[in-house]
Structure 1
Amino acid sequence: MINSVFFLFLFELYAIQSEVQPSNFVPYGIDSGDTPMDRRLNALTPPIKIKALFPYFNEKYDEIKLWSHGLILFGNQTYNNLPHAVPGRFPLPSFICVSPYWADTDITTDQNSNIFYREIDTDVNALLIITDMVKRAYPALTSQRMFWAFVATWDRVPGHESSGHGRTKYISGYNNNK
């Protein structure tokens, strides 16, 4: 029997007005094969089929959606009115998500901010970077090698009605060794 290890990793690369070079993180952007998210206010991606079944709270999911306000939603539920704030006390059985961050953002106001996503299963270099991140964070798992990942990046995303200050970059990833 093959044991599978799944991780959710989140990186706040920079916030407010400080900058960090992301050269030691998973490469992202169009040149890395990412898909850019629509530049609409309150954007939600169409369902994204993923190749690996991702276990989350005793369920396995092969479909996710990204929301421009920082949520990654699991499953094929239809969400018509996603909240801009936490909708209640967790756990929320009908609201299956993780939140790298949850903020009222607006990527329609400039061309510098973007939200990217991609599934990684053949990019050996990216998977080695992710494997190294897991090994550094969890030294007991030094024998684990990641074979699949889904990475979402919120790049220089400003707050809604922002004056340009307080941009944030987040990279969120889900990966496994199976």
Structure 2
Amino acid sequence: VLYPFGPGVGDEATRHEDDGTSPEIILQENFSFFGRAHRSLYVNNNGVVSFGTMVPEFTPQPFPLPGDRPFVAPYWADVDTRLGGDVFYRQSRDPQLLARLAQDLAPVVPPGDPLPQPTWAFVATWDRVAYFGAASNKVNTFQAVLASDGITCFVLLNYGDLQWTTGIANQGDPHTGLGGIPAQAGFNSGDDVHYYNVPGSRTPAVQSLSHRSNLGVPGRWAFRVDHFEATEGPPETPGTLSKTPEAPWS
């Protein structure tokens, strides 16, 4: 489910620290997110890609958040890479990656609309990351991918193995990484109005994101995000947990 990542494909990595973040990353193309164009972002160790400002906070909160804090959260939780794992990121115009993204994003587009033809992508990957206060070797692997053709913008959330939901500062069990306030997944536009909580966020069910989908591909979720009318994408895969977001795109 995950796209290629790591030093072999030119990724950079954040420092191994608790609540760390990347430097500000200037984008090669504007990325439009809920009607606002962004030219830079940060990759935050705690499972967030944020526009304009860092997000070091380790306690996941339900969207919408107050204040101007636009970000994508594949798995917002208390990551501690000092205890294990890496957070990788890169911009890419690799034709093979873009062709694969075009194919994988096609189901997101309503019938009759032009098919996605991304010309740029940003890939952030949390590879086997540990949780704060871990007294176990449980780790999580997940990825956020931003893709754009310069106008139309998409986000894909890809989930590998998810073994924990909560660090100990959020009342998680140090031996299991479960309980307390589990991880949050979704989008926050920063305007206090438009947002999306992936079903299961901040509940134990968030750990099952690697088995669920809105595309029929277990572990993959995809959304168009450039305008206010952004859809949730196709319905969640039949036979999985019901789709009960706290609110759709308002």
Place the TM-score, normalised by the shorter chain, in its bin: 0.7 to 0.9
**How large is the Cα RMSD of the aligned pairs?**
2.1
Return the alpha-carbon distance in structure 2 between the equivalents of residues 82 and 133 of structure 1: 31
Q: Is 1:30 aligned with 2:1?
A: no
Return the alpha-carbon distance in structure 1 between the equivalents of residues 69 and 133 of structure 2: 27
Q: Within 5 A, what are the aligned runs for 1:16-165? A: 22=1, 25-75=2-52, 77=53, 79=54, 82-86=56-60, 90-110=64-84, 113-121=85-93, 123-138=94-109, 140=111, 143-162=115-134, 163-165=136-138
Deviations 1:7-29 (A, max 9, x none): xxxxxxxxxxxxxxx5xx31110
Q: Structure 2: where are the runs of 5+ without partners?
A: 151-250
Q: Structure 1: where are the runs of 5+ without partners?
A: 1-21
Deviations 1:47-94 (A, max 9, x none): 00001111112211000001100111102x4x5x83212357514332
Identity of aligned residues (%): 24
Q: Is 1:170 aligned with 2:127?
A: no
Aligned to 1:15: none
The ranges of structure 1 where at least 4 consecutive aligned residues each deviate by more than 4 angstroms after the TM superposition are 136-139
Larger RCO: Structure 1 or Structure 2 (Cα < 8 Å, ≥ 6 residues apart)? 1
Note if contact 2:46-2:57 (Cα within 8 Å) is conserved in structure 1.
no
One-letter amino acid of the counterpart of residue 41, structure 1:
D
Displacement of 1:41 after TM fit? 1.4
One-letter amino acid of the counterpart of residue 60, structure 2:
V
Note if contact 2:18-2:132 (Cα within 8 Å) is conserved in structure 1.
no
One-letter amino acid of the counterpart of residue 154, structure 1:
W
Alignment size in residue pairs? 148
Give the TM-score of the pair, scaled to structure 1.
0.74
Give the secondary-structure state (helix, strand or coil) at the position aligned to 1:100. strand
Note if contact 1:26-1:130 (Cα within 8 Å) is conserved in structure 2.
no
Aligned to 2:241: none
Deviations 1:80-109 (A, max 9, x none): x83212357514332221111111111112
